[in-house]
Amino acid sequence: MTIPESVPYGVGTARAKLVDRKAGSPTGAWRPGDDPGHRRFLEIGDLPLDSGEVLPDTVLAFETWGELAPGRDNAVLVLHALTGDSHVTGRAGPGHRSAGWWGDVVGPGRAIDTGRYYVVAANILGGCQGSTGPSSTAPDGRPWGSRFPWLTTRDAVRAEALLADALGIDTFHLVIGASLGGHRAVEWAVTYPERVSNLALVATGASTTADQLAWCHLQELAIVADPYFLDGDYYSHPVGPVRGLGLARAIAHTTYRSAAELDARFGRAPQGEEDPAVGGRYQVESYLDHHSGKLLARFDANSYLIVTHSMMVHDVGAGRGGTQAALGTVTARTLVVDVDSDRLFLPPQAEELTRCIPRTVRRTVHSLHGHDGFLIEHQQVGAILREFLAGPDDVAHSSDGVR
């Protein structure tokens, strides 16, 4: 398939343009001059936002795998979680610090088979792996920093729809998202029902709960309280808000795993030769420190705030008559997957999605790992997706767990 140099789109004043380049917008861990790896870029231009502002010079980084069929009916959109990115599958290497985050689910011969499907994944708008975000260069030549506008789930989906237009995709065979990616997936199905044939919502919900808002708020406080946050304008400073971002990640990671798993893995064991009685750490403290350090190597604190904010304000029923009314407009054949030990996205959220979306089947992943079970239990997740994708065009409501 030949990709056009530019395509018109329905919002804004510019024309979206696909480009291949060695350098793009400077965003956090990925900066001009770095090898873009498998990333490509959509230059959107001016993007109107829900806030009423317009984001100029908008760029969306993305990756693709497989080939778009002549009938353009085999496209799959995979939407990542809070600190994920477009590198869904593939090896670590130039431009990619680690292997794809869902490589056991997406790839040749996997449940989402890149030999059969044309898989598309974008780095979320506001992120820091090539898409326009707070560390990108504003029109005045300086990083956006504190001036970057707040974004919503709908803003991110609007940008992704422009990417689909540019790739020549009228309808996705499957839109699948997990966690915050599931927020975008359900928004896709409500905003563009004619463009989503099948929908998979994994460990996610139709709106953010008060409990989730509380956890998000603590993470925001951790970042902005760092003395080196400098109100978000830290890019020219030799020290950034690494302590605040690390603490935010530790708080979040605690919600991603179950209490039972942490007790089983670590208990009250000390870390190596350290003695907690005299200031040393327990193993679980070292574990959280490790994951905090990993995030610091690849993520921007301002992007963390922007994307977390989009999670906080997520409500698919806002302005649409409420959640039930909004979900009732979904026409896609839908799969809802929850994780039985998830303490971030609780069963009532999966129940609401299953009850309100007309053609829905629900499956449960059984795991000790909590919310991260959708990343770890790849055999269960793969089996559930294979069953769903191989199933009939019509499904009745079902809440059977996978066995």
Distances (CA, A) of 76 to 155, 173, 267, 351: 20, 6, 41, 25
Q: Answer whether 89's CB lies under 8 Å from 65's CB.
A: yes
Q: What angle do CA 214, 216, 218 make, to 5 degrees?
A: 75
CATH architecture of the region 17-209+319-390: 3-Layer(aba) Sandwich (3.40)
List per-residue pLDDT tens for the chain, 403 residues long: 222 233 222 333 335 788 765 544 445 566 666 788 899 999 999 999 999 999 999 999 999 999 999 999 999 999 999 999 999 999 998 888 889 999 999 999 999 999 999 999 999 999 999 999 999 999 999 999 999 999 999 999 999 999 999 999 999 999 999 999 999 999 999 999 999 999 999 999 999 999 999 999 999 999 999 999 999 999 999 999 999 999 999 999 999 999 999 999 999 999 999 999 999 999 999 999 999 999 998 999 999 999 999 999 999 999 999 999 999 999 999 999 999 999 999 999 999 999 999 999 999 999 999 999 999 999 999 999 999 999 875 444 444 443 2
Taking each helix axis from N to C terminus, what angle separates 301-312 and 242-256, rounded to the nearest 10 degrees? 40
Q: Answer whether 119's CB lies under 8 Å from 126's CB.
A: no
Instruction: Identify the CATH class of 211-311.
Output: mainly alpha
Which residues make beta-bridge pairs with 347?
A: none
Provide the H-helix boundaries in 206-343.
210-224, 242-256, 259-265, 283-296, 301-312, 323-327
Instruction: Measure CA of the first residue to CA of the last residue in the chain; give whole Å.
Output: 41
- Length of the chain equals 403
Write out the DSSP string of 113-147: ETTTSEEEEEPPTT-SSSS--TTSBPTTSSB-GGG
Q: Answer whether 242's CB lies under 8 Å from 228's CB.
A: yes
Which pLDDT score, from 0 to 100, does residue 97 have? 86
Q: Of 129, 102, 133, which Cα lies nearest the Cα of 297?
A: 129
Which residues make beta-bridge pairs with 338?
A: 364
Residues 291 and 246: their CA atoms lie apart, in Å, by: 8
Which pLDDT score, from 0 to 100, does residue 103 have? 97
Which pLDDT score, from 0 to 100, does residue 95 have? 86
Token pair listed for 166: 């540019």
Which pLDDT score, from 0 to 100, does residue 50 have? 97
Q: Please give the backbone phi and psi of residue 163, each rounded to the nearest 5 degrees, phi first.
A: -65, -45
Task: Cite the active site residues.
Answer: 179, 342, 371
Which pLDDT score, from 0 to 100, does residue 25 have? 42
Would you say the pTM of this structure is higher than 0.85?
yes
Domain-by-domain residue ranges, the chain? 17-209+319-390, 211-311
Q: What angle do CA 148, 152, 157 make, to 5 degrees?
A: 110
